[in-house]
Amino acid sequence: MKIAIDAMGGDHAPEEIVKGVEMARDRYKDLEFMLFGTESEVKPLIQSMERLELIPTNEVIAMGDEPVKAMKEKQDSSLVQAANAVKAGKADALFSAGNTGAILSSAIFIVGRIRGVERPALATAFPAFGGPHKEFVFMDLGANAENKPSHLYQYGILGTFYAESVMGIDNPRVRLLNNGGEEDKGDDVHKEAHQLMKNTDAFNFLGNVESREIMEGTADVVVADGFSGNATLKAIEGTALTMMGQIKESIKGSGIRGLLGALLLKPALKAMKHKMDFQENGGAVVLGVKAPVVKTHGSAKANAVANSMGQIQTMVEENLVGKTTDFIKENADKLKVKKAAK
């Protein structure tokens, strides 16, 4: 199994990317790696060429680049060349810690959509602080700024396959992120999506969920439109950061007593921080494209990069893309009927 790596994407690239890949090579004995990057920068970092190939590239897509433009114009960039390798069948999956928009564009336009999938989506495994499972799938996190009801319906299918195959959850509980529990809540898109989801037997739909409740583990797949999914994810991250900062401030402000208390509570606070630090366990996945595409956060260090490789290995081993493709092919009529019924 071979993974195409964009060695130049991310705040700590290429150092932490190369380090993470070599870490992953030690952990996962079946993995091989194609490293795409600027030779003069990447080559000196590599410790051993075991199961590793360096493909020199001459351009880099920066974090601030306009995504589609960068993908089109920087044909010899590490990201575009890595995506080309996946498209050509030379690699089984794509990894990058770089510009999210450019990764999405490369996934959709180079790796390509699975036939029948209207809009690929960005998904992540998010920690559940309650409920029967440790994590749930949260999507779309911003691949799309605008969604139709049929997109949301399809996310139920894509998310269910991910929860089953990669997270090992049987018959995952799917819910639609909406601004109320009742089925007539939300704008027209969400009302219609609710009806499509309610009337399908393609997955196990349990109704709406509000953003207040998603962290409690009330669903295994939370389907959101890209705009409010993105806003919700960032609100959660912002609140967690703000609260951790506030706790620190409060401790500092309460003198020796606070410092002593903090010292005693350190393991407890660390455990919580660890659980909130979910991005360490793997990356966000572009679902609905013809190969696994994983994106870790820009500030990822070697360990997060290595963990993403483990996540990719599971996706390839479990044949996530194949299963999804087959299901969509076999149920093409059903999917069309759904839309016609609208």
Question: Among residues 112, 207, 240, 314, which is the contact residue for a second copy, using CB under 8 A?
Answer: 240
**What distance in Å separates the CA atoms of residue 247 and residue 268, rounded to the nearest whole number?**
13
Among 146, 277, 317, 326, binds a second copy (CB under 8 A): 146
Binding residues for a second copy restricted to 302-341, rule: CB under 8 A: none
275 binds a second copy (CB under 8 A): yes
Torsion of CA 3, 330, 340, 226, to 10 degrees: -20
Binding window for a second copy (CB under 8 A); candidates: 36-44, 197-205, 256-264, 326-334? 256-264
Q: Does 227 sit near a second copy (CB under 8 A)?
A: yes
Q: What is the CA radius of gyration of the chain?
A: 21
Binding-site size, a second copy (CB under 8 A): 58
The answer to the question of residue 234 lying near a second copy (CB under 8 A) is yes
Asked if residue 177 binds a second copy (CB under 8 A), the reply is yes
Round to whole Å and give the CA distance between 278 and 165.
Answer: 19
Does 253 help bind a second copy (rule: CB under 8 A)?
yes
- The type of residue at 103 is I
Q: Restricting to residues 110-139, which ones interact with a second copy according to CB under 8 A?
A: 129
Interface with a second copy (CB under 8 A), residue from 49, 88, 243, 332? 243
The arrangement of strands across the sheet holding 284-287 comes to 52-56, 32-37, 2-6, 93-96, 293-295, 284-287, 121-127, 135-139, 221-223, 173-177, 204-209
Stretch that binds a second copy, among 19-27, 77-85, 112-120, 270-278 (CB under 8 A): 270-278
Query: Toward a second copy, which CB reaches closer, 72 or 129?
Result: 129
Residue placing its CB nearer to a second copy in the complex, 146 or 317? 146
For a second copy, which is the closer residue by CB, 23 or 240? 240
- Min dist CB 250 to a second copy, Å, is 3
Q: Which residue from 73, 216, 277, 326 is in contact with a second copy, where contact means CB under 8 A? A: 216
Binding to a second copy by residue 239, rule CB under 8 A?
yes
Asked whether 136 and 217 are in contact (CB, 8 A), the reply is yes
Binding of a second copy by 154 (CB under 8 A)? no
Other CB atoms within 10 Å distance of the CB of residue 48 = 8
What is the Cβ-side half-sphere exposure of residue 164, based on CA atoms within 13 angstroms? 18
Q: Binding residue for a second copy (CB under 8 A) from 75, 246, 299, 319?
A: 246
Any long-range contacts for 126-131 (C-beta under 8 Å, 24+ apart)?
126/214, 126/215, 126/222, 126/278, 127/215, 127/275, 127/276, 127/278, 128/215, 128/216, 128/217, 129/215, 129/216, 129/217, 129/275, 130/215, 130/216, 130/217, 130/218, 131/216, 131/217, 131/218
Q: Which is nearer to a second copy, 241 or 332 (CB)?
A: 241
Phi, psi for 116 (deg, rounded to 5):
100, -20
Which residues sit at the interface with a second copy, rule CB under 8 A? Answer: 129, 142, 145-146, 177, 179, 185-188, 190, 210-216, 224, 226-228, 230-232, 234-243, 245-247, 250-251, 253-254, 257-258, 260-269, 271-272, 275-276
